[in-house]
């Protein structure tokens, strides 16, 4: 496999060498910032940096990387300064919009038009998350979906079926508890983002889309619809089936418990399929978040949002070429083969893709609505209150009404600040 990838890498370098634009040979520094210090992604990007420097020997890279929440904090600081990296990873929708509002992110409509032959391989629907107003400010790289993964052996042993509604879901959890599974569902609630993944889907299922559109806009948000209380209450109910351990562990621990057969159900991203398989556990399937019987949202929406790359307004031309180098079919295929997560390039799949991964990929493509993570969909101040509130609900130190009072107060302040 290593020999295969080395060969592919050499071929890509040769191909790009043949078409690489000529640049002045003065040294150019590209500052590259990503959120993947873990393997195999860190090594993947390190290899791309090395290969790109073989194409452009005058380019020197300054690479930095931190994981998830620290990344969010750092990029929000950097985007308000002249130290914004030339190329950096970003979540889509609200997170991208907040970065764009700084005025330091490069608008890419002309970039897409000038590189139409390259851009035709990118799924247009995945670009939408990087549109702000009339502009496009990012290039999607990964796509994802989130569903409830379940242990097939446990379900088959007891004749259990995946639920279609939330009422059926609660009844299923009760059945599992009665069968001796004290923690029929698990989540690592130490990770605030895990709370946002639940709440984003729950609110989308319950609320009228017009209500969400109004509330998720900082200029008009009020968050007074009773559906928010109902959603928080359902989330709190789910945490009661997780046991006290949930608030003391992270999501990775919850996934490992599922892979070890200790818990029957975990809410996970399709990007985690390969992580499960690496443990030797393959006897699993998944179901989409069940519908609320009286919900006003699309019950078939799939939670997940593209993640991609952005350029600083002052990025050199070489940074644009590096972006294209990363988001190329061959290099994206290498990413899928190494990491397992799907990418926003048409039909960019390994030949030996397993059945469950193919089913997940098709579900992402066939979904009629992308439901972004809550912390990507709303202003970060609102998201933080919901995430902390969800954690506090799980340990019983706050009430549904107290959480919503904080959200409504923050929303009023945002309306005032936005409209002044």
Q: DSSP states of 368-416 as a string?
A: S-EE--HHHHS-HHHHHHHHHHHHHHHHTSS-HHHHHHHHHHHHHHHHH
Which of the four pLDDT bands, split at 50, 70 and 90, describes residue 16? Answer: low
Instruction: Provide the 10 A C-beta neighbour count for residue 64.
Output: 14
Place of tokens 């020999």: 3
Q: What is the pLDDT of residue 125?
A: 86
Query: What does 72-140 look like in DSSP terms, one character per residue?
Result: HHHHHHHTTSTT--SEEEEESTHHHHHHHTTT-BPP-HHHHHHTHHHHTTB-HHHHGGGEETTEE--EE
In this structure, the answer to whether residues 52 and 81 fall within a common structural domain is yes
**Is 21 a residue whose pLDDT tops 80?**
no
In this structure, the answer to whether residues 178 and 138 fall within a common structural domain is no
Q: Measured at the alpha carbon of residue 368, what is the angle toward residues 365 and 372, in degrees to the nearest 5?
A: 85
User: Which range of residues forms the domain containing residue 26?
Assistant: 2-143+305-347
Report the C-alpha gap between 60 and 46 in whole angstroms.
13
Report the C-alpha gap between 309 and 323 in whole angstroms.
7
Mean pLDDT of the 27-53 span: 96
The token pair at 113 is 């038009």
Mean pLDDT of the 355-368 span: 89
In this structure, the answer to whether residues 335 and 191 fall within a common structural domain is no
Return the SS3 of 268.
strand
Contact between 403 and 393 (Cβ < 8 Å): yes
Mean pLDDT of the 57-69 span: 93
Q: Is residue 362 part of a domain?
A: no
Smallest Cα–Cα separation from 17: which of 51, 63, 58? Answer: 51
Q: Is residue 360 part of a domain?
A: no
Q: Is residue 225 part of a domain?
A: yes
**Is 199 a residue whose pLDDT tops 60?**
yes
Mean pLDDT of the 157-174 span: 98
In this structure, the answer to whether residues 161 and 180 fall within a common structural domain is yes
Which of the four pLDDT bands, split at 50, 70 and 90, describes residue 205? Answer: very high
Return the SS3 of 282.
coil
Report the C-alpha gap between 101 and 80 in whole angstroms.
10
Looking up residue 221, the CATH number of its domain turns out to be 3.40.190.10
Report the C-alpha gap between 205 and 71 in whole angstroms.
29
In this structure, the answer to whether residues 76 and 201 fall within a common structural domain is no
Give the tens place of pLDDT for each residue, 89-142. 999 988 898 899 999 999 999 999 999 999 999 999 899 999 999 999 999 999
In this structure, the answer to whether residues 28 and 45 fall within a common structural domain is yes
Give the tens place of pLDDT for each residue, 69-94. 789 889 999 999 989 999 999 999 88
Q: What is the pLDDT of residue 18?
A: 47
Backbone angles phi and psi of 182, in degrees to 5: -65, -30
pTM of the model: 0.83
In this structure, the answer to whether residues 323 and 377 fall within a common structural domain is no
Give the tens place of pLDDT for each residue, 170-192. 999 999 999 999 999 999 999 99
Place of tokens 């796509």: 143
**Is 319 a residue whose pLDDT tops 60?**
yes
Domain total for the chain?
Answer: 2
In this structure, the answer to whether residues 380 and 265 fall within a common structural domain is yes
Q: Is residue 366 part of a domain?
A: no
Q: Is residue 139 part of a domain?
A: yes
Contact between 264 and 281 (Cβ < 8 Å): no
Percent of the chain with pLDDT over 90: 82
The token pair at 227 is 């559906």
In this structure, the answer to whether residues 240 and 311 fall within a common structural domain is no
Q: What is the pLDDT of residue 411?
A: 98
Q: What is the pLDDT of residue 20?
A: 53
Sequence-separated contacts (24+) of 207-210 with Cβ below 8 Å: 207/231, 207/296, 207/297, 208/296, 208/297, 209/296, 209/297, 209/298
Contact between 199 and 390 (Cβ < 8 Å): yes
Report the C-alpha gap between 48 and 327 in whole angstroms.
11
Q: Is residue 367 part of a domain?
A: no
In this structure, the answer to whether residues 21 and 7 fall within a common structural domain is yes
Q: What is the pLDDT of residue 22?
A: 53
Query: What does 36-68 look like in DSSP terms, one character per residue?
Result: --STTHHHHHHHHHHHHHHH-TTEEEEEEE--H
Q: What is the pLDDT of residue 163?
A: 98
Place of tokens 């889907």: 201
Return the SS3 of 173.
helix
In this structure, the answer to whether residues 78 and 222 fall within a common structural domain is no
Report the C-alpha gap between 42 and 372 in whole angstroms.
25
Q: Measured at the alpha carbon of residue 363, what is the angle toward residues 361 and 364, in degrees to the nearest 5?
A: 65
In this structure, the answer to whether residues 343 and 268 fall within a common structural domain is no
Q: Is residue 353 part of a domain?
A: no
Contact between 263 and 184 (Cβ < 8 Å): yes
- DSSP H helical ranges for 260-296: 273-278
C-alpha torsion angle, residues 287, 289, 294, 295 (rounded to 10): -140
Mean pLDDT of the 383-403 span: 97
The token pair at 155 is 């379900």
Mean pLDDT of the 200-226 span: 97
Which of the four pLDDT bands, split at 50, 70 and 90, describes residue 53? Answer: very high
Contact between 215 and 399 (Cβ < 8 Å): no
Q: Is residue 357 part of a domain?
A: no
Domain end point (choices 314, 347, 380): 347
- DSSP H helical ranges for 192-272: 192-206, 209-215, 227-240, 251-259
Report the C-alpha gap between 259 and 356 in whole angstroms.
15
């Amino acid at each position: 496999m290593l020999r295969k990838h080395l060969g592919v890498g050499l071929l890509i370098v040769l191909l790009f060498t043949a078409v690489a634009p000529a640049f002045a040979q003065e040294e150019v520094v590209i500052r590259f910032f990503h959120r993947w210090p873990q393997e195999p992604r860190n090594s993947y990007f390190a290899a791309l940096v090395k290969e790109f420097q073989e194409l452009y020997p005058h380019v020197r890279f300054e690479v930095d990387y931190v994981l998830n929440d620290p990344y969010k904090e750092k990029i929000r600081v950097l985007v308000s300064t002249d130290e914004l990296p030339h190329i950096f990873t970003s979540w889509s929708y609200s997170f991208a919009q907040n970065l764009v509002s700084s005025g330091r992110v490069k608008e890419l409509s002309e970039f897409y038009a000038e590189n139409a032959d390259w851009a035709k391989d990118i799924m247009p629907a995945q670009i939408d998350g990087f549109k702000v107003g009339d502009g496009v400010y990012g290039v999607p790289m990964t796509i994802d979906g989130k569903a409830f993964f379940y242990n097939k052996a446990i379900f088959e042993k007891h004749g259990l079926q995946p639920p279609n509604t939330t009422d059926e879901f609660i009844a299923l959890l009760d059945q599992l508890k009665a069968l001796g599974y004290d923690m029929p569902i698990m989540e690592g609630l130490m990770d605030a983002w895990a709370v946002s993944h639940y709440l984003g889907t729950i609110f989308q299922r319950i609320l009228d889309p017009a209500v969400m559109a109004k509330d998720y806009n900082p200029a008009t948000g009020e968050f007074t619809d009773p559906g928010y209380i109902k959603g928080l209450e359902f989330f709190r109910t789910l945490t009661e089936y997780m046991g006290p351990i949930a608030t003391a562990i992270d999501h990775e621990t919850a996934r490992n418990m599922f892979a070890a057969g200790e818990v029957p159900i975990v809410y996970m991203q399709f990007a985690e399929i390969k992580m499960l398989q690496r443990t030797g556990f393959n006897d699993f399937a998944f179901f989409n978040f069940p519908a609320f019987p009286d919900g006003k949202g699309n019950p078939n929406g799939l939670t997940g949002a593209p993640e991609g790359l952005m350029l600083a307004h002052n990025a050199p031309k070489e940074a644009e070429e590096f972006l294209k180098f990363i988001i190329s079919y061959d290099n994206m295929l290498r990413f899928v083969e190494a990491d397992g997560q799907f990418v926003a390039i048409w039909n960019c799949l390994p030949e030996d893709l397993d059945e469950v991964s193919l089913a997940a990929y098709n579900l992402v493509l066939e979904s009629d609505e992308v439901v972004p993570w809550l912390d990507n969909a709303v202003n970060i101040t609102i998201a933080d209150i919901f995430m902390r509130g969800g954690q506090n609900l799980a340990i019983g130190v706050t009430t549904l009404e107290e959480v919503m009072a904080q959200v409504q107060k923050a929303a009023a302040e945002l309306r005032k600040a936005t409209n002044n």
